[in-house]
C-alpha cells in the first residue's frame, strides 16, 4: 500500500463487506467460510443477538476456543448494537466471574464444560448462559439477517480485559473507530493484500490477537484461527495453509526458532510481527536467519491505545532493538516529568486509537487517560503509558523500562531490560527476567530469573564485566521453563510472587 490510509472510521461490522464473494475469509477446522458466507453468517448472528439481547449497548460475553462464534462475534455484536466482551478461554472461574460481573454481561456463550465450571452466583443478575452449540443452532436457523449497521463509529463496541497479572483484570473500552482504525493502520503498514493468509495463533481476547482477524479482513484476506498446543502445530499449519503472515509474542518466537522448519512452511511467509514484549537482539538475529525472506515487524503497543510504534523491516538488521516510529493514526510524544518534550522520558500516545478509558473505573481512568501534552498536535485525551523510552537522533524510539517495573536500588533507577539483555547476550540464558525485591539496606535487591544451561559463576563473571556494580543481581535463580500468562507473555508477577 503506497497511498495514505483512509482516516474515516466506519461501524466495525462493515469489515464483513471487504472481500470478494468466492474467496476464503475464515478457515476453520470444520470447513472454510467464504466472504459471501461470512456476510450472511454475521447478518444471521446479529439478528439472533438483537432478539436475544434487545437492550442497546448490552454486553455479550464469549468464553470459547477459536471458532465461528469467537471470530464472528466482534462483527455480529457490533451490527446488533451490542458490546462484545471476549473472555480468554484459558482463564479460570474466579477471573471469569470478575469479568462477567464487572462488565454486567447480559449473555454468556461458552461450551458446556466451561459453563459447568461456574457456580451459583458467578453470573451477574439477569445474565443468560447458553452453550455454544445451542446458540449456533439458533442463529443458523434464521432465514433473514440484519443489514449493515449505521452505528456511530465513536460508540462503544468492545470491552477487552487485561490479563490481570496483578489484581483483577481491567476492562478497556474500545469504540468502533478504535477497532476500525486499528485494522486500517496495521493493514496499511504491513501492506496486507487480498491474497494474504494470516495464521491467528494469539488469543482473540487480546487486542493484538483480535487485530489478526480485523486487519486481515480489512485487506480482504483470509484468516486461519489456531488453538495450538506445541510449536510444531504452528509450523504444520503454516505449511498446510500457505500462511503469509505470522504474529507472535517473544516466548512463542523463542520456541519457533528452536524448531526445524520445512521449506514448504517457510517459503510462503511474507511477514512476521511481534508485540507483547521486546524481542532482544539475539532473537531478532535468530529470526532473520530462520526466515531470511520474510519481513520482520517489531512493534510496541498497549491495550489502552492499541498499537503505538513499529520498526520498518528495512531497519531491523541495523537497529534490532528499536521500537521504531509511530504507526499511522498515532501521535507519539516523549516527555519529561514536567510534560515537555525530551530525548528520554515517558511515552505518551495521542490520537484516534486512544481507548475510551476503563469500564466503570473513573479513578484508574484518570490516572492513565489524561490531557495530551502541550506539544501534541492532536490534543484531546492521551494515554500516558508509564513506559520510559528514548528517542535517538534519527527519531527512532528505544524502550528503557516501565515505571512500575523499574528497580530502585541504592538510589539508582535501573531498567530490568538492561540486566535481562546482558544475561541473554552472555549465551547462557535463553530467557531472563529481572525485578527488585525489598531489601533493608538497598531499598530493592536485584533478583534475576533465567532459563538456560549456563553456570551461575560464569554468568556472574560476564555480568560483572558488562554491567556496573549497582546493577549486579543479588540472586540468580535457574528454572526449566518460564511461566506464561493467558496471553502467552512471561508471567512476571508469578515469578516475583514465587521469589518473595
Give residue-wise pLDDT tens across range 224-272: 999 999 999 999 999 999 999 999 988 899 899 999 999 999 999 999 9
Torsions phi, psi for 339 (to 5 deg): 85, 10
Asked if the model's pLDDT at residue 483 lies above 60, the reply is yes
Mind listing the pLDDT tens digit for each residue in 39-52? 999 999 999 999 99
Domain containing residue 448: 405-499
Asked if the model's pLDDT at residue 328 lies above 70, the reply is yes
Res 162: pLDDT: 81
Q: For residue 271, tell me if it sits in a domain.
A: no
135 & 210 share domain:
yes
Averaged confidence pLDDT in the chain: 93
408 band by pLDDT with thresholds 50, 70 and 90: confident
Res 164: pLDDT: 45
Q: Residues 251, 257, 261, 265: is their CA dihedral positive or negative?
A: positive
Helix/strand/coil (H/E/C) assignment for every residue in 262-313 = CHHHHCCCCEEEECCCCCCHHHHHHHHHHCCCCEEEEEECCCCCCCCEECCH
Mean pLDDT throughout 201-222?
Answer: 96
**Which CATH number fits the domain that encloses residue 389?**
2.30.38.10
The shares of helix, strand and coil residues in the chain, as percent rounded to the nearest 5, are: 30, 25, 40
SS3 237: helix
Q: For residue 273, tell me if it sits in a domain.
A: no
Asked if the model's pLDDT at residue 167 lies above 70, the reply is no
Q: Which residue has the cell 481507548?
A: 355
460 & 418 share domain:
yes
**Which CATH number fits the domain that encloses residue 483?**
3.30.300.30
Mind listing the pLDDT tens digit for each residue in 263-309? 999 999 999 999 987 888 989 999 999 999 999 999 999 899 999 99
Distance (Å, whole) CA 407 – CA 411? 10
Number of domains in the chain: 3
Instruction: Give the residue from 207, 227, 247 where a domain finishes.
Output: 227
Instruction: Give the residue from 227, 260, 284 where a domain finishes.
Output: 227
Count CA atoms closer than 13 A to 373's CA, side-chain side: 22
193 & 338 share domain:
no
66 & 152 share domain:
yes
Distance (Å, whole) CA 261 – CA 264? 8
166 band by pLDDT with thresholds 50, 70 and 90: very low
Q: Which three cell numbers stand for residue 395?
A: 527519531
Which parts of 321-406 are beta strand (E)? 325-326, 331-335, 344-350, 369-371, 381-391, 397-402
Res 421: pLDDT: 87
Distance (Å, whole) CA 65 – CA 234? 16
Mind listing the pLDDT tens digit for each residue in 59-68? 999 999 999 9
Q: For residue 245, tell me if it sits in a domain.
A: no
Q: For residue 266, tell me if it sits in a domain.
A: no
Model confidence, pTM: 0.86
414 & 389 share domain:
no
Amino acid at each position: 500500500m503506497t497511498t495514505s490510509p483512509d482516516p474515516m472510521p466506519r461501524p466495525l461490522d462493515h469489515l464483513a463487506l471487504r472481500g470478494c464473494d468466492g474467496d476464503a475469509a475464515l478457515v476453520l477446522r470444520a470447513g472454510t467460510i467464504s466472504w459471501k458466507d461470512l456476510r450472511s453468517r454475521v447478518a444471521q448472528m446479529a439478528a439472533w443477538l438483537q432478539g436475544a439481547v434487545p437492550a442497546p449497548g448490552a454486553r455479550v460475553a464469549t468464553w470459547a476456543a477459536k471458532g465461528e462464534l469467537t471470530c464472528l462475534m466482534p462483527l455480529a455484536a457490533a451490527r446488533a448494537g451490542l458490546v462484545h466482551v471476549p473472555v480468554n478461554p484459558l482463564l479460570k472461574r474466579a477471573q471469569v466471574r470478575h469479568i462477567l460481573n464487572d462488565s454486567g454481561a447480559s449473555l454468556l456463550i461458552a461450551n458446556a464444560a466451561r459453563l459447568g465450571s461456574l457456580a451459583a452466583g458467578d453470573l451477574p443478575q439477569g445474565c443468560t448462559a447458553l452453550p455454544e452449540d445451542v446458540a449456533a443452532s439458533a442463529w443458523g436457523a434464521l432465514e433473514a439477517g440484519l443489514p449493515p449497521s449505521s452505528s456511530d463509529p465513536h460508540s462503544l463496541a468492545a470491552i477487552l480485559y487485561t490479563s490481570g497479572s496483578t489484581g483483577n483484570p481491567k476492562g478497556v473500552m474500545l469504540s468502533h473507530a478504535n477497532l476500525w482504525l486499528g485494522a486500517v493502520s496495521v493493514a496499511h503498514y504491513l501492506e496486507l493484500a487480498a491474497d494474504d493468509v494470516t495464521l491467528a495463533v494469539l488469543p482473540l481476547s487480546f487486542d493484538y490477537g483480535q487485530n489478526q482477524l480485523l486487519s486481515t479482513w480489512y485487506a480482504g484476506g483470509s484468516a486461519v484461527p489456531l488453538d495450538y498446543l506445541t510449536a510444531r502445530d504452528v509450523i504444520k499449519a503454516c505449511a498446510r495453509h500457505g500462511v503469509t503472515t505470522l504474529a507472535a509474542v517473544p516466548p512463542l518466537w523463542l520456541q519457533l526458532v528452536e524448531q526445524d522448519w520445512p521449506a514448504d512452511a517457510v517459503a510462503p511467509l511474507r511477514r512476521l510481527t511481534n508485540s507483547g514484549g521486546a524481542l532482544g537482539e539475539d532473537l531478532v538475529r535468530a529470526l532473520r536467519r530462520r526466515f531470511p525472506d520474510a519481513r520482520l515487524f517489531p512493534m510496541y503497543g498497549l491495550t489502552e491505545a492499541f498499537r503505538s510504534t513499529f520498526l520498518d523491516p528495512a531497519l531491523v538488521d541495523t537497529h534490532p532493538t528499536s521500537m521504531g516510529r509511530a504507526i499511522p493514526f498515532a501521535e507519539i510524544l516523549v516527555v519529561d516529568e514536567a510534560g515537555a518534550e525530551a530525548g528520554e522520558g515517558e511515552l505518551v500516545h495521542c490520537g484516534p486509537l486512544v481507548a475510551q478509558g476503563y469500564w466503570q473505573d473513573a479513578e484508574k481512568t484518570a490516572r492513565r487517560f489524561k490531557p495530551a501534552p502541550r506539544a501534541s498536535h492532536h490534543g484531546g485525551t492521551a494515554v500516558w503509558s508509564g513506559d520510559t523510552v528514548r528517542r535517538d537522533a534519527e527519531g527512532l524510539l528505544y524502550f528503557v523500562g516501565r515505571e512500575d517495573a523499574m528497580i530502585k536500588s541504592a538510589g539508582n533507577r535501573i531498567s530490568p531490560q538492561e540486566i535481562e539483555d546482558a544475561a541473554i547476550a552472555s549465551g547462557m540464558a535463553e530467557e531472563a527476567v529481572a525485578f527488585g525485591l525489598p531489601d533493608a539496606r538497598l531499598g530493592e535487591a536485584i533478583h534475576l530469573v533465567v532459563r538456560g544451561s549456563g553456570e551461575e559463576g560464569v554468568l556472574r563473571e560476564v555480568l560483572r564485566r558488562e554491567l556496573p556494580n549497582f546493577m549486579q543481581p543479588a540472586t540468580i535463580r535457574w528454572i526449566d521453563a518460564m511461566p506464561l500468562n493467558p496471553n502467552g507473555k512471561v508471567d512476571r508477577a508469578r515469578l516475583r510472587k514465587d521469589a518473595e
